[in-house]
Amino acid sequence: MVKITFHGHSCVQVETGQASLIIDPFLSGNPTAKISADDVKVDAILLTHGHGDHVGDAVSIAKKNEAKIIAPFELATYMGWQGCDVHPMHIGGSYQFDFGRVKLTPAFHGSGYVLEDQKQIIYLGMPAGLLLTIDGTTIYHAGDTALFSDMKLIGEQHNIDLAFLPIGDNFTMGPEDALIAAEWLQAKKVVPMHYNTFPLIEQDAQAFVRALKEKGIEGEVLEAGGQLAL
């Protein structure tokens, strides 16, 4: 069994009997999160891109847990400079880890770490989505992205059990485009993410799930701390 816990925004924890992973661990400063970085016990951290609301607490979690950070090359390099154990990857590449296989997919967005005090932005390469295959279950985390037609190809190539799709609009695709993405991906279940964390991305997730149902797609809204099993 694979246990999924949604920690708000785009942070997803995936647990099996052998491993625990966390994706985009934005907890400190996340008004929706129900746990702190100190509560997290994981073996690996997966990052989709270098924005602060996705990198989040990755460094402190990695060091406390002696966990490996898996990320696109430039972001992994930067995390390595912060003293973390890293595994660099890039879009289109996959790797078989002890816990399962990770493949990075395209995402249409940006990736840069903002140093507010210095008024600098550190460029961290291209953003990514990711496909995680663990204990026979395939999870697609789209990261931050616009709708793009290669989602059709991702759906054709992979038997996706669960897809996390951003619906917040403004910075990513909104509910209408996410609905198209869900149709193209053909995932067995879709969970919305990246919404209601801040005023700019307020959305009605229940309305999105109802729209999915009208298309014959199973959807579920997970509040922060909400879980499901696959």
Q: Note down pLDDT in tens along the chain; length 230 residues.
A: 999 999 999 999 999 999 999 999 999 999 999 999 999 999 999 999 999 999 999 999 999 999 999 999 999 999 999 999 999 999 999 999 999 999 999 999 999 999 999 999 999 999 999 999 999 999 999 999 999 999 999 999 999 999 999 999 999 999 999 999 999 999 999 999 999 999 999 999 999 999 999 999 999 999 999 999 99
CATH of the domain at 117: 3.60.15.10
Whether pTM > 0.95 for this model: the answer is yes
Q: Which two tokens stand for residue 36?
A: 């702190």
**Enclosing domain of residue 192:** 3-229
**Distance, CA of 119 to chain centre:** 27
Tally of domains in the chain: 1
SS (H, E, C) 84-131: CCEEEECCCCEEECCCCEEEEEECCCCCEEEECCCCEEEECCCCEEEE
Between CA 102 and CA 19 the distance in angstroms is 14
Helix (H) or strand (E) holding 156: helix 150-157
